[in-house]
Chains A and B, each alone.
Chain A
Amino acid sequence: MDKAQFSSPWMPYLLLMPQMLIIAIFFLWPAAEAIRSSFFLEDPFFGKATFVGIDNYRDALTGSDYQRTAWFTALFTILVALISLGLGLMFAVSADRVLRGQSTYKTLLMWVYAIAPPVAGLIGVMLFDQHIGPLVDFAALFGWDMRIGVNYWDTGTAMIIVATWKQIPYNFIFFLSGLQSIPSSVKEAASIDCRSEFRRFWTITFPLLAPTSFFLLILNITYAMFETFGTIDLIVKDQPGNSPVTLVYKVYRDGFRGNDLGGSSAQSVILMLIVLALTIVQFRLIERRVHYN
């Protein structure tokens, strides 16, 4: 790419200004505020704050409730990311192979994505409704008495399924376009070199999808950790007690429902560090093995 030449040395900074402002107002400032208040015990009603050092962090990290939530978040994130990536890829490979009615098939699979997220979330929640949910009835056929909002793992399962279901079309679209950008002659050359279609997929197609997969993996982890907030909120709204939630939801619940602003801030700082670490790990480790054209 050509390097643009500016007549004034301030010009590039001026052009970057709007983006910088947005980052400063919506990220840097709140982040700094969270870090500051994480060291205080805030009185939610009279605005008095007492400096407590790292007590908020110690309370958060040693609390059994926090640890349980952290483990659930890890499990939730891994399962949602992997299952939705796996199914998205599977559907994309099938759609790529379908010759007749391909566009119908594609449209049907993308449909969910076209629906507004809260609506899709609500539909998902209704599928698991205790009284009218068909999936609860379906589980009952196998002798599984699903009690959403009462049983911890039943609720967790429903959460994972709804969150995964919403993310599949997104992954499907990216995987499909990734598949279709593989030159047909490369696939043909592979079909001459290798008889087994299964082997061809893992030695040629999948490695060539690696950039897409890597990109999607990051997006899916982010999705599962943060963007599932709405889905989780819909599922656990009226059952605060024994329901599993993710770390982000706990930050919200402790802060805005529990009025523990300091503790909530400490949790969100921890979350920030986790995200930072994850990003570094992802780019350092995975990108090295990813082939970019």
Chain B
Amino acid sequence: MTTLRIKNARKVYPNGAEAVKGVSVDVEEGELVVFVGPSGCGKSTLLRMVAGLESVTEGEIELAGRVVNDLEPADRNIAMVFQNYALYPHMSVRKNLAYGLKNRKTPNAEINSRVDDAAKLLQISEFLDRKPSQLSGGQRQRVAMGRAIVRKPAIFLFDEPLSNLDAKLRNQMRLEIKKLQQSLDTAAIYVTHDQVEAMTMADKIVVLNDGQVEQIGTPAEVYGSPATTFVASFIGAPPMNLIPGDLSENGLNIGGTVLDHTADHRGPVTFGLRPERARLTSDANGIAVDIGVVEELGAIRLVHCQLGDHELTVTQDSEEPLPSGRMGLEYAERDAMLFDRDTGHRL
């Protein structure tokens, strides 16, 4: 069953700025959907529209079969986790967790048992009587999640919940949120600008750019067959190599080098190749590249090289001998992607 259905949602601010330009997304039961995109792409606005913190200019938000466009945030059966935690600083952790339930006239016994369960689940039982100011960033994050969990909402909304934590804690919490969400089996939307977070957590990724959906798919789909050059460059680290070229009867012409390519399309294209799908060989008879700077990352290394006038990055196992001078470039033809150079769409 579909938990949340966003139909053609648009958001136009009073000053005329259009933050969300007709987005449709479905969130299935128990699914974790990640909205990812650069800052200003409208992902947070879209989330806030679902929460009811922003009005919907056009389109419909349907939660559990009911259009909620005109409902107050408190009436929508959603729970949100904010980037800066947004805990109530004057209340103890216990009161923070209980506040939403108390206002919904939940019986006290029920509140206590839910708060204790959530606290146990999040390992914050010993902090229940502390104020938020006495907690560390990670602990506050747990309290913020606890406040969402006790409500047992139809859907969790996460607005960049990890971006205030340090890198190590972020990786740990990322995993915990994912586990938690799976064990609670509740649908969730997770907004982030971090593509690694998106890839690792999502059941389904929605890549947004400039208020529009670029692609919706599983992490594997978004990585393996990006629909546009934007998705190709946004998802994956290091990003996909994108090189302008021309397709003709002879093949694909990239800066003077002609590659064999069996495609029907003719005209200007963008050639895309993932750094990790390319290999360097000592045989420079095929496609020749000039090796430039080499970055060692430990297990792998990034080799920056020059193909004609264009920069190209290739990743390589650190076990391999250090590349230098002029070398050959190899790749499987199925790994080479072509995009229309004008529209950016995959051919």
Contact = CB atoms under 8 A, between A and B. Distances in A.
Interface of A: 183, 185-186, 188-196, 199, 203-204, 207-208, 210, 291, 293
Interface string B71-103: 011110011101110111110000000011001
A193 B99 contact: yes
B133 interface: yes
B78 A192 contact: yes
A189 B80 CA distance: 7
Contact of A193 (B52, B74, B83, B90): B74
30 contacts: A185-B82, A185-B84, A186-B87, A188-B53, A188-B73, A188-B80, A188-B86, A189-B80, A189-B82, A189-B86, A190-B88, A190-B99, A191-B52, A191-B73, A191-B74, A192-B73, A192-B74, A193-B99, A193-B147, A194-B100, A194-B103, A195-B72, A195-B75, A195-B103, A208-B89, A210-B90, A291-B89, A291-B90, A293-B89, A293-B133
Given A189-B147, A203-B99, 17 more contacts: A188-B73, A188-B86, A190-B88, A190-B99, A191-B53, A192-B73, A192-B74, A192-B80, A193-B99, A193-B103, A194-B74, A194-B103, A195-B75, A195-B103, A199-B103, A210-B90, A291-B90
A59 B46 CA distance: 75
Contacts of A194: 74, 99-100, 103
A196 B53 CA distance: 15
B51 A192 contact: yes
B74 A186 contact: no
Most chain B beta-carbon neighbours within 10 Å: one of A189, A190, A195: A189
Nearest to B151: A193
A189 B82 CA distance: 8
A224 B275 CA distance: 75
B198 to A, nearest CB: 22
A69 B335 CA distance: 93
Contacts of A186: 86-89
Contacts of B52: 191-192
Contacts of A199: 103
A194 to B, nearest CB: 4
A193 B82 CA distance: 13
Contacts of A183: 84, 86
B82 A188 contact: yes
B100 A185 contact: no
Contacts of A204: 88
Nearest to B84: A185
A199 B75 CA distance: 15
Contacts of A207: 90
B100 A193 contact: yes
Interface string B224-249: 00000000000000000000000000
Listed from nearest, the 7 A-B pairs whose CB atoms lie closest are A193-B100, A185-B86, A195-B74, A291-B90, A189-B86, A194-B103, A207-B90
A194 B104 CA distance: 8
Most chain A beta-carbon neighbours within 10 Å: one of B78, B83, B87: B87
Contacts of B80: 188-189, 192
Nearest to B131: A291
Interface in B141-163: 147
Contacts of B89: 186, 208, 291, 293
Contact of A185 (B83, B90, B99): B83
A193 B53 CA distance: 12
B79 A192 contact: yes
Nearest to A197: B72
A179 to B, nearest CB: 15
A193 B78 CA distance: 10
Nearest to A290: B90
Contacts of A191: 52-53, 72-74
A42 B134 CA distance: 60
A192 B53 CA distance: 9
Contacts of B51: 188, 192
A204 B75 CA distance: 19
B92 to A, nearest CB: 11
A185 B82 CA distance: 7
B103 A208 contact: no
Interface in B52-78: 52-53, 72-75, 78
Given A191-B72, A293-B133, A196 B86 contact: no
A291 B72 CA distance: 29
A188 B49 CA distance: 12
Contacts of A185: 82-84, 86
